[in-house]
Structure 1
Amino acid sequence: MPESTDVRVFRERPVSFVRRSGRMSEAQERAWAELSGHYVLEIPRGDAATSVRPGAAIDPAREFGRHAPLVVEIGSGQGHAIVHAAASRPDTDFLAVEVFKAGLARTMLDADRVGARNLRLAEANAPEVLEHLLPAGSADELWIFFPDPWHKKRHTKRRLIDGGFPPMVRRALRPGGIVRLATDWEDYARQMRTVFDGAEGFTRDFAGEWAERHPGRVLTAFERKGERAGRAIRDLAYRTAGGS
């Protein structure tokens, strides 16, 4: 009997990460067992472990138990920026999107320590969160701070922010919503700027060559690493049409 030539395709778009299976610490395992019930969203999956099944949109008001502005961080890492923001802005809701379970566990530990209950976590591939998990127009802000630069030339096609990314961002943001970006890799910063400058429905929310540093972005290990290597940090901000 001839072998089947069918190839099972999990995703149409390449993911911008390599999923690592690093072992969690005892504290992180405990955090997952004790805190995930409050913080981690239950997400209907497609074929892949971090996928979001089409039609699986959440209701933010139901998840947070109230109606409030929503800020979403893509690639939240260990949660330093979003935990600080959630603790500082109790009248706003926050959603951290990350694929690395250990980072999400660290985020829960820190959020619980400072009493940040206005935070939820999504262990999921970012484009599928924007396309399927978030209702259209539900987010007030979207943060993408220090995404993987994939700086080797043969890997740049894996970068999250390319020509196909802005429509997903625009779908998730409310009219007048804002996307904030930061990177320490100059060529990626210029790519981001070119992509969003040319994207339909977005206008710059800054004057000059680069945006001012967003005051809500705390100094993280990624930023310190870039600065030690002599790389300048560049910020960008774009607003969707239809609001102010």
Structure 2
Amino acid sequence: MTEKNAENNALLEKHRIKSYVIRAGRMTTAQSNALTELAPKYLIDSSAEKPLDIAAIFGREAPLVVEIGFGMGKSFVEMAKADPLRNYLGIEVHPPGVGAAMMLIEKEGLTNVKVINYDAYLVLTKCLKPQSVDILQIFFPDPWPKARHHKRRLINDSFIDVITPVLKHGAQVRMATDWQEYAEEMLECFNKAEGFTNTSENNTYIPRPEWRPLTKFELRGERLGHGVWDLVFIRD
């Protein structure tokens, strides 16, 4: 990380408004057990906020996919299972989701998936090495629909400043949302950002990609007539 990037990150951290709130959601006994019993196999401790040796963590050199906010982990683990030649690193702040994801990883017997239960901003700025990420995924982030909460939205100009250093040249940024106004905001942010190219033919959205699993939440939304907007940008 350059001295300029370090200064920018320090400034962002000082004035940062977190895009999440840790809610006291119910954790099942199985999820709780997974957090302790499966952690040695799948959970990466990032609390020291030091650069991670990704090759050592996965036991191999392979392209790295990082997903921010994988929820309960179903689609994240499904993608990793279908894509064994890449390493998948998921970041989620909510413990029930981390426990659920590790249970799925264990059930499928996957060796190309690890998870982090930590603030994604700190993982991106402290733990991931420059130009180490081949694909960054953010699917259905909290839209914070009330106007007074829009400042909490994850994807904005500052977010692009944070992710750019860790992305390889040619890396993909994959995003999806079912909130149209947020989709428009994402599109505007990335279309005007230097160093990124929209993969859409008309600089808007792409058709729903086959590589993104269809979730129960999304299926329910389709039945109710809700739209979903997918975006993929390439770092130049």
Shift of 1:71: 0.3
Normalising by structure 1, we get a TM-score of 0.87
Aligned positions, number:
223
1:191 to 185, 190, 205: 185
Shift of 1:22: 2.4
Q: Which residue of 2 aligns with 1:176?
A: 170
2:45 pairs with 1:42 = yes
Q: Which residue of 2 aligns with 1:25?
A: 28
2:7 pairs with 1:12 = no
| AA aligned opposite 1:205 | T
2:210 pairs with 1:215 = yes
Question: In the TM superposition, what are the counterparts of 1:123-142 in structure 2 within 5 Å?
Answer: 123-142=117-136
**Deviation digits for residues 148-188 of structure 1, max 9, x if unmatched?**
00011111111001111112221111110010000011100
**Deviation digits for residues 79-128 of structure 1, max 9, x if unmatched?**
11210111111111000110000001000111111111211101111222
Q: Which residue of 2 aligns with 1:4?
A: none
Q: Secondary structure at the match of 1:165?
A: helix
| Equivalent pair of 1:31/1:105 in contact (CA under 8 Å) | yes
**Structure with the greater alpha carbon radius of gyration:** 1
Q: Which residue of 2 aligns with 1:156?
A: 150
Taking only aligned residues, the RMSD between alpha carbons, in angstroms, comes to 1.4
1:113 to 107, 111, 127: 107
| Equivalent pair of 2:44/2:115 in contact (CA under 8 Å) | yes
Q: Relative to structure 1, is the Cα distance of residues 25 and 11 closer, same or farther in structure 2, using a 3 angstrom cutoff? A: farther
Aligned-residue identity in percent: 40
Shift of 1:230: 2.5
Task: Give the distance between the partners of 1:132 and 1:188, measured in 2 at CA.
Answer: 27
| Equivalent pair of 1:146/1:222 in contact (CA under 8 Å) | no
Task: Give the distance between the partners of 1:224 and 1:105, measured in 2 at CA.
Answer: 24
Task: Give the distance between the partners of 1:214 and 1:140, measured in 2 at CA.
Answer: 17
2:60 pairs with 1:66 = yes
| AA aligned opposite 1:233 | V
| AA aligned opposite 1:36 | A
Q: Which residue of 2 aligns with 1:143?
A: 137
Q: Secondary structure at the match of 2:137?
A: strand
2:228 to 220, 229, 233: 233
Q: Relative to structure 1, is the Cα distance of residues 198 and 160 closer, same or farther in structure 2, using a 3 angstrom cutoff? A: same
| Equivalent pair of 2:46/2:123 in contact (CA under 8 Å) | no
**Which stretch shifts more, 124-133 or 180-189?**
124-133
Task: Give the distance between the partners of 2:39 and 2:69, measured in 1 at CA.
Answer: 18
| Equivalent pair of 1:87/1:115 in contact (CA under 8 Å) | no
Q: Which residue of 2 aligns with 1:97?
A: 91
Listed as ranges, the gaps of 5+ residues in structure 1 are 1-9, 46-52
Task: Give the distance between the partners of 2:147 and 2:221, measured in 1 at CA.
Answer: 19
Q: Secondary structure at the match of 1:239?
A: strand
Listed as ranges, the gaps of 5+ residues in structure 2 are 1-12
| AA aligned opposite 2:127 | L
- Between Structure 1 and Structure 2, the one with more helix by share is 2
